[in-house]
Amino acid sequence: MQCCCSETLFGALGRWKIRLSIKEVSRLYQKRVYHSLISRNGSHLTLLSQGQQFCCLQGWRASSSVAVDPIQQHRLRLSDWFSRLPSEEQHFGPSFSLDSIHVDPVIRESCLEETLRPLTEFTLQSQFQSPPCSQNVSVTQLFQPISSGQRVRNVVLYGTVGTGKSTFIRKLVLDWCHGRRKEFQLIIPLSCEDLSEIKAPVSFSRLISKKYVHLRDLLPTLSQQPGVLFILNSLEWMDLDFRMASTELCSDPNEPLSPSAILVNLLRGYLLPEASVLVTTRPSALRRIPGKYVGRYAEICGFSDMELQKMYFHLRLGHKDADVRETENLLEMLNRNLEHHSQLSAACFLPSYCWLTCATLHLLYYTKPGNPTRTLTGIYTSFLRLNFAGEVLDITHPSKISLMLYVARFVGKLAYEGCRSRQTRFSEADLNRCFNVALNSEEDINLLSVFRTDAFHFFLTPCIKPGHETTFVFTIPAMQEYLAALYVVLGENKTTLQRVGREVSDIINKAGEDVVAVVNVLSKFLPLRIFALFNLLRVVPKLYGKVSGQSRENIAQTMTSEMFREEDAFNDDVLDQINSSILGVEGPSQNTDEDVFGKQEAFELFPIFMAGLLSRQNRAMLDQLGCSIMNTSALEITRGLKKHLLRCSLRRLPPTELMDFLFFLYEFQNEAFTAGLVSSLQDLDLSAVRMTPLKCTVVSSVMGGSGKPMTEANFKSCDLDPDAIRALSPVLRRCQSLNLQMNSLGPDSCKEIKDVLLHPDCAVTSLRLCNNPLTSEGGRLIAEALAGNNSLRHLSLLHTNLGDEGAEILASQLGKNTHLQELNLAYNGIHDQAALRLGEEAARNPTLDRVHLYFNELSDSGLRSLQSFGGVRILVSLTEGADASRHWSLILRELRANAGGWDQQRISSHLTLLLRDLQSSRALTGNLLRKARLLRVETEVKRMLSRIQQGQL
């Protein structure tokens, strides 16, 4: 169905996606408010009604073009703009919006004396000695008269980085756009960052009309409009001077002034005195507005109440796109950890860190194949970009240094020294040693003062562990490793000689270019050989370039040595460590507080973050933060890293370390680099590594791109499920030997395994599915795969609950496969009839050589019948007649490898029967050699039976 709307209607409403019913259009037409929406040339107007039907209105013609209500249009445009989510938010799914996930932070009323309290001591500890809150205030109370009844015109809302000032403003504006803030008739937001870029004088009217064109007709009467609110966001970007000698008084909105002069007069009350002004700023800029011009100070305190933190997590994680049961489980563990791990609760005091926690959990639990690639390093870099992109530490400082670059240099130095010494707690002496290194002037001291006022608490917080209250820890432990990695990758860990050499090299290089240019001109007229000596000036930059290259080689060596530390071999993989740090550890923890906070910290994320920061996407985001990593530097580090990693990756790694290595390559996001390293991996042993959706994505992404077959893949006890098998299928089908035992795989998983076996490129020759509850339905799917597969030679379905039905199904499909050589169906509850059917089909198969049927429900006659089949070896017992079976060691080896998850009582009864058979055969035979062999097997069975009864097997 098509909609015949006029161009005018689409121009006014189409961009804002407004849906009006016919009654609403009629009402607007009668009121002559939206006349300009009606086409003057067309005779038809089509609108979308609330019932999603198209209606045609005829005979409507506009006699004049009356402007749309500017305030209503202003609401629509602000709503559209402030509703747009950053790209970082879009990863959470389409159901997220600010209205659905917002939790109001705590706002407390402050006072002038508190905001101007001097920092008497040059100590970082003093910044947290805040006076008790006088009272909490709501948004509606910000502009209420004070106790004396005096009107509050200007409100200053301040807070450190990450407390939620920008989100608070977004929510306030959206509430007004949707009619939920009746106290204001008009809200005009202005960004001080944008205003700081305007250099030429401009009038206030022109300033507003440039940003909000639709308000142009309203400006002449703006001073008469009641309930006007100006929002000045991020005042720290403006250098205001309230002295009369510097900023003249002006009440004319049409008078061209500098943006700072406009704001000064607006705050003074000379310009639009009836309007209200809401200022947001960081604490360091509070003194730029004299207290006499501020009616109320309010501090935004984040989520100081744990219940607000829980509410935020519930709204964030409980979105409609998530699995309800899994989300409830996550929330329960997270809430329990918040209550018992107070350091995590202290970190989530900042709404920004609540966002980071949810983003990390979303990566760990909601990653799905086919989704856009997301990395842990990318989440942390995006998190910092959301909070610090474009932020300058102090706009009044001549250097205009990026806030994030300052953090990378000084907080990064502290983080790096902590990683190097395996330290997570820092004394005030440690802080002073790192921050005082650059205090060479009054300006440097001012920069440090601004940082410790505005952003120090964002990264470091007092330790709340009893006995360590005077020390500091990183607000989020992983942030220490991230900043340490950033410090190293940026090349900030230089010696004094390297720093001086760089400065001297730059000076000589610049001077040398000028000198050489002049000498080249003079040498054409005065061919003196002495001029050739000036070419030596070019040697210094080249020499420093070699030294710098050696420094990047050291970075690569640092990454490799940190990646393959021997003492980390028995730790959990890093993704499980992150999960435990957020959700806690189920059951009694094996780590003491000293392990968590002391020198035994693993710091295994440190090299992984270094790899992630070298990826192109993260380098682009870091550039926006003022932390540029040059392409040449990244290339040189990558070359050195490849050389070191090739040597280390050739040795066999423990499963958790191998998972960390694959995650390292995943974070690096360099396909060519990864392909060159994984080509040397012949075995993929990830046994006992809990394969979460993210880990499956990591393995598939890193290993799936190479078409080279692998010798073995061991996924034993990895908690695999159908989604995991599907995600790993590009890797599984390339493995010659595939071990999937003890994963609780059911019939649903067998469908995915069937797809792997029937794939044209399947190279699997040995498949172990032992100790999985496949049941007869799963056996049917495996049998269908067996009928169409040409690669499989060895198949183990030991203890998979097949029963007689599953055995019959497998028997019916054996004839269609002419490649299988060994089939293990031991311990499946198979009785004589099904077992004999299997034996008959196995005997007819031209390639099948061996079938395992021991530990099944077979009678003595059934055992004898199965042992009499010719053409195939059917293993049913440890004895063959009056002698020990040739395969007794194979049977006992299978038992030792799998008995841990079996019914101990049932296995004990089977072993008792086998022991009786051994003793009976030994009594009947007169051959001494056979007696000795039977006695040896009997001894092994007794030893195993004893271990099972004692619970040691």
More confident position, 936 or 518:
936
Work out the burial of residue 404: count CB atoms within 10 Å of its CB; fewer than 13 is exposed, 13-18 middle, 19 or more buried.
buried
**pLDDT of 10 strictly over 60:** no
pLDDT, residue 520, reads 60
Q: Which CATH architecture has domain 102-300?
A: 3-Layer(aba) Sandwich (3.40)
**What average pLDDT score do residues 781-804 get?**
94
pLDDT (tens digit, 9 = 90+) per residue, 737-784? 999 999 999 999 999 999 999 999 999 999 999 999 999 999 999 999
Closest of 203, 217, 252 to residue 74, by C-alpha: 217
At 515, is the pLDDT very low, low, confident or very high (cuts 50, 70, 90)? low
How is the chain split into domains, by residue range?
Answer: 7-68, 102-300, 682-875, 903-953
Sorting pLDDT into bands at 50, 70 and 90, what band is 122? very low
Predicted local confidence at residue 648, as pLDDT: 72
Q: Is the pLDDT of residue 698 over 80?
A: yes
377 has pLDDT over 90: yes
| Residue 936, pLDDT score | 87
Q: What are the distances in angstroms from CA 657 to CA 570, 638, 648?
A: 8, 21, 12
Rounded Cα distance, 392 and 404, in Å:
8
How far is residue 787's CA from residue 813's CA, in Å, rounded to a whole number? Answer: 6
Give residue 171's pLDDT band: very low, low, confident or very high (50, 70, 90).
very high
Q: What is the dihedral of CA 74, 75, 77, 83, to 10 degrees?
A: 150
pLDDT at 229: 96
**pLDDT tier at 600 (50, 70, 90 boundaries)?**
low
List C-alpha distances in Å: 776 to 414, 783, 794. Answer: 60, 10, 20
**Using CA atoms, how far apart are residues 589 and 656, in angstroms rounded to an integer?**
19
3-class DSSP assignment, residue 450: helix
Beta-sheet pairing, 683-685 with 276-281: unpaired
* Distinct helix (H) and strand (E) counts, the chain: 40, 21
Specify the pTM. Answer: 0.81
Does residue 95 surpass a pLDDT of 70? no
Residue 933's contacts (CB-CB under 8 Å, 6 or more residues apart) are 883, 884
Question: Which helix (H) or strand (E) segment is 822 a member of?
Answer: strand 822-824
What lies within 8 Å, CB to CB, of 465 at 6+ separation is 343, 593, 597
Helix, strand or coil, per DSSP, at residue 669: coil
Encoded amino acid at 504, one letter: V
Q: In this structure, what are the phi and psi dihedrals at residue 699, rounded to the nearest 5 degrees?
A: -65, -45
Mean pLDDT score, 498-516 = 49
- In this predicted structure, what is the pLDDT of residue 242? 94
Mean pLDDT over each residue of the chain, to the nearest integer: 80
Give per-residue burial for 157-170: e unless 16+ CB within 10 Å, then b.
bbbbbbbbbebbbb
E strand segments, 149-287: 154-158, 186-191, 228-233, 276-281
Alpha carbon distances (Å) from 875 to 595, 802, 849:
51, 18, 11
Q: Give the pLDDT band of residue 509 (cuts 50, 70, 90).
A: low
| Predicted pLDDT of residue 545 | 47
Rounded CA-CA distance 410/42 in Å is 67
Mean pLDDT, range 857-865, rounded to an integer: 86
Mean of the pLDDT values across residues 421-449?
85
Closest CA to 46 of 16, 72, 19: 19
Q: In terms of DSSP H, where are the helices of 471-538?
A: 477-489, 496-522
pLDDT of residue 870: 75
Taking only Cα atoms into account, the Rg of the chain, rounded to an integer number of angstroms, comes to: 37
| Side-chain-side CA neighbours of residue 362 (13 Å) | 25
On the question of a common fold for 102-300 and 682-875, the answer reads no
Comparing 368-372, 767-771, 783-787, the range with the smallest average pLDDT is 368-372
Architecture of the structural domain at 682-875: Alpha-Beta Horseshoe (3.80)
Residue 24: is its pLDDT beyond 60? no
∠ CA 29-34-39, nearest 5°, is 85
Element (H, E) at 732: helix 722-732
Q: Report whether pLDDT(17) > 50.
A: no
CA distance 498 to 605: 27
Q: pLDDT (tens digit, 9 = 90+) per residue, 25-73?
A: 344 333 333 333 333 333 333 333 333 332 333 333 333 344 578 999 9
Phi, psi of 943, rounded to the nearest 5 degrees: -65, -40
* Cα–Cα distance measured from residue 607 to residue 420, given in angstroms and rounded to the nearest whole number: 12
Spatial distance between the Cα atoms of 675 and 707, rounded to a whole number of angstroms: 10
Rounded Cα–Cα distance for residues 740 and 722 (Å): 12
CB neighbour list of residue 855: distance below 8 Å, 6 or more residues apart: 826, 827, 895, 907, 910
Q: What is the DSSP letter of 170?
A: H
pLDDT for the residue numbered 60:
32
Distance CA 234, CA 4 (A): 45
Q: Is 951 left (phi over 0), alpha (psi -120 to 50) or beta?
A: left
